[in-house]
Amino acid sequence: MMRKSALTFSTLLFAVLLLVSSRAFADTINLSLSNTVLSGVPGSTLSFVATVSAPNTNGAAVFLNSDSFDVDSPLTLDDTPFFSYFPLSLNPGDSTTDVLFTVTIPTDAAITDYSGFFTILGGADDLAQDTLASTTFEVNAVPEPSNVLLVATGLAGLAFMGFSKRLCL
C-alpha cells in the first residue's frame, strides 16, 4: 500500500513539474519579411521590412531580447532598426511591421547574389535567449543602369562597325 501511494505521488509530482517547466518556455512569434529578395547597386543600402506577430493562442507576452544574424561577405548587416522600431515584448495578438534590418552593399562588391539569415532571440522574460523565429534573405548586387547602357551602346557600336565593313566589301 505504501509503495503504491509513493508511486502515485511521484507520478503526480512528475506531471506537475512537466506542466510547470513547459509554461516557463515562451510562446511563439511569427516573423515574415515583406520581400525576401532585394536588389541594389554597389554602394547602396537596402532596408528589409518585416512583420513580427504573437499569435492570439499565446498564453503570455513574448520578450524580444536580442538577435543573431549572418550575411555573405563583403556585405554588412545593421540590426539597429530591430532595437529601435520593434517593441521589447509582444502580447498575444500584437503585431508590428517596420524595418527589421538594413544591408549595405560595398562599392567594390562583385555583381552577384548574396544570402543571409536573421534570427530573433527572446522568450518568457527579459533575460531569455531562446530562438523565437528565423528568416533567410537574399541580396542581388546588380550593375548600375548607366553602366549597362554604356556596355550596350558599345556593343551596338561594334556590331554596326562590323556590319558597315561588310557593306564596304
pLDDT for residue 167: 67
User: Mean pLDDT for the chain?
Assistant: 85
Query: Alpha-carbon distance 91 to 55, whole Å?
Result: 9
> Cβ(130)–Cβ(122) under 8 Å?
yes
DSSP β-ladder status, 130-141 and 37-40? parallel
pLDDT for residue 24: 46
Average pLDDT over residues 100-120: 98
In the chain, % of residues over pLDDT 70 = 70
Q: What HEC string does 94-115 produce?
A: CEEEEEEEEEECCCCCCCCEEE
Query: Alpha-carbon distance 123 to 104, whole Å?
Result: 30
CATH homologous superfamily of 28-158 equals Immunoglobulins (2.60.40.10)
Domain boundaries, the chain: 28-158
Residue 16's pLDDT band (cuts 50, 70, 90): very low
